[in-house]
Amino acid sequence: MSQSISWVQLGLGLGLAVIISLAAYVAGSLSRSGALAAILLGTAVFGLGGLPWAVLLLGFFISSSLLSRLFRRRKQSVEEKFSKGSRRDAAQVAANGGIAGLLVLAQVVFPASPLPWLAAAAGLAAANADTWATELGVLSPHLPRLITTGKLVEKGTSGGITPFGTLAALGGAAFIALLAVLFPPARVMLPVVAVFGLVTLSGLLGSLIDSLLGATAQAIYTCPQCAKETERHPLHSCGTPTVPLRGWRWLNNDGVNAACTLSAAGAAALAAALFLPVMLSPVDSFREGGSLMKIHSPEFSDGANIPTRFTCEGENVSPRLEWSGVPAAAQSLALVVSDPDAPGGTFIHWVLYNLPPQTTGLPEGMPATERLSGGGSQGRNDFGRIGYGGPCPPPGKPHRYIFTLYALDLAPDLPPGLNAARLTSLMRGHILAQASLTGLYQR
């Protein structure tokens, strides 16, 4: 089921994209066409994806732009080989970030699947790896070797790699992977090591594919006047018309960069689908030891409207909940109530954890205390308060409020005062079963 688009969040995304793109244009990191393309891309990624998507795109753009400016002088000796300078135009923006723009649209259509976000992280990791390798590779004291033959080539030659440049590529991919680990979407319950490793390796793979295409298929020209290889066409930096040397005439550096990000995104999605089917599964309940864990409320049925007394317009008390089918191996339970339709991204209304596994439900009107008398702890919601905060959406469309119960193999001794992000991080790799109940509310 596709998710509804929040026009408020989209507007905020547009504002943020305009501010960042204009600042980059003034700083010389983007051309006029590049700034316009960045506004479109940023609006889509920030406005539709929210924080988990925005930090990935910003991490790539800011780190790569800073490196370009820091080592601009060191690159002057090889810039004649590059088809374009460090001021990115629209084609470069699309080649490096376009895959993220397409995948955030896929996330809107498939909001429960973590695959679009994971693939986008890998694509941006590849773009970052390639940029870091290019910007930092020129610092290597050794000449690069062609990735296909090992032949020594001049610095800046397409397809040339050095150990230092490859290490820089690994660092660029790992940087995006670290951001993915620190700012994951709420429903991505993958182990930290799996996310970090998959994004890093896919990003490095994309960077190596970029080098392979640069050495074999990319259009490379030669300048008769300077007797040097170059990506520039039709004119070299000296003003002399360049002539084809090798590669496919239609495949320029932007096309190679697009293939780099696409291959990394595809590799990550394929690996995730093949090797992480259980951890990636977005199902709301699943079988564990022959039982089916379920959660329901006597106050409203799944998919129905939440009564007003449980909202900010009523008494703002928590509803009665009941559940069954908790796996025998469970050591504790946790409950998170979230609103995925909030304007600023997923909004957390309730965080409970350390609940005894034999618990079969919660009464109406749970007290707003960190520690519960019958066992369990309550964390801080996005209102900034401990305990339950009822539905309180802005006027307009109905919002979904998802009550998700987790059966964990964690002992009930997690620290007090956790928020949802921290709890989610601690739960990764420890979820035995989960079940959800969705209520609706509209003002």
List, for residues 41-91, the tens digit of each pLDDT value.
999 999 888 889 999 999 999 998 888 877 666 555 555 555 555 678 899
Q: What does the mean pLDDT of the chain come to?
A: 87
Q: What pLDDT, on a 0 to 100 scale, did the predictor assign at position 285?
A: 39
Structure-model confidence comparison of residues 349 and 287, the more confident one: 349
- Predicted confidence band of residue 317 (pLDDT cuts 50, 70, 90): very high
Percentage of the residues of the chain whose pLDDT score is greater than 70: 89
Average pLDDT over residues 156-183: 92
Of the candidates 280, 303, 332, which is a domain's last residue? 280
Residue 286 predicted with pLDDT over 50: no
Q: What pLDDT, on a 0 to 100 scale, did the predictor assign at position 290?
A: 40
Q: What pLDDT, on a 0 to 100 scale, did the predictor assign at position 112?
A: 64
Domain assignment of residue 164, yes or no: yes
Q: What pLDDT, on a 0 to 100 scale, did the predictor assign at position 81?
A: 52
Q: Is the peptide bond before 234 cis (omega within 30 degrees of 0)?
A: yes
CB 332 within 8 A of CB 408: yes
Domain assignment of residue 175, yes or no: yes
Residue 282 predicted with pLDDT over 50: no
Residues 115 and 145 in one domain: yes
Q: What pLDDT, on a 0 to 100 scale, did the predictor assign at position 276?
A: 58
Average pLDDT over residues 227-253: 79
Residues 324 and 434 in one domain: yes
- Predicted confidence band of residue 202 (pLDDT cuts 50, 70, 90): very high
Radius of gyration (C-alpha) of the chain in whole angstroms: 25
Residue 314 predicted with pLDDT over 80: yes
Residues 204 and 148 in one domain: yes
Residue 289 predicted with pLDDT over 60: no
Number of domains comprising the chain: 2
Of the candidates 245, 280, 315, which is a domain's last residue? 280
Q: What pLDDT, on a 0 to 100 scale, did the predictor assign at position 189?
A: 62
- Predicted confidence band of residue 244 (pLDDT cuts 50, 70, 90): confident
Q: Which residues of 347-372 are buried (b: 16+ CB within 10 A; e: fewer)?
A: bbbbbbbbbebebeebeeebeeeeeb
Q: What pLDDT, on a 0 to 100 scale, did the predictor assign at position 1?
A: 40
Domain assignment of residue 3, yes or no: no
Residue 99 predicted with pLDDT over 50: yes
Residues 195 and 245 in one domain: yes
247 lies in which domain range?
65-87+103-280
* Burial class, 166, CB count within 10 angstroms (exposed 0-12 / middle 13-18 / buried 19+): buried
Percentage of the residues of the chain whose pLDDT score is greater than 90: 56
Predicted model pTM: 0.66
- Predicted confidence band of residue 279 (pLDDT cuts 50, 70, 90): very low
- Predicted confidence band of residue 185 (pLDDT cuts 50, 70, 90): confident
CB 164 within 8 A of CB 138: no
Residues 124 and 162 in one domain: yes
- The per-residue DSSP string of 92-120 comes to HHHHHHHHHHHHHHHHHHSTT-SHHHHHH
- Predicted confidence band of residue 165 (pLDDT cuts 50, 70, 90): very high
Q: What pLDDT, on a 0 to 100 scale, did the predictor assign at position 309?
A: 97
Q: What pLDDT, on a 0 to 100 scale, did the predictor assign at position 128?
A: 96
Of the candidates 280, 315, 334, which is a domain's last residue? 280
Task: Give the number of other CB atoms < 10 A from CB of residue 83.
Answer: 18
Q: How far is CA 134 from CA 150, 284, 420, in A?
A: 18, 44, 39
Residue 294 predicted with pLDDT over 90: yes
Residues 171 and 225 in one domain: yes
Residues 217 and 326 in one domain: no
Domain assignment of residue 39, yes or no: no
Average pLDDT over residues 319-347: 91
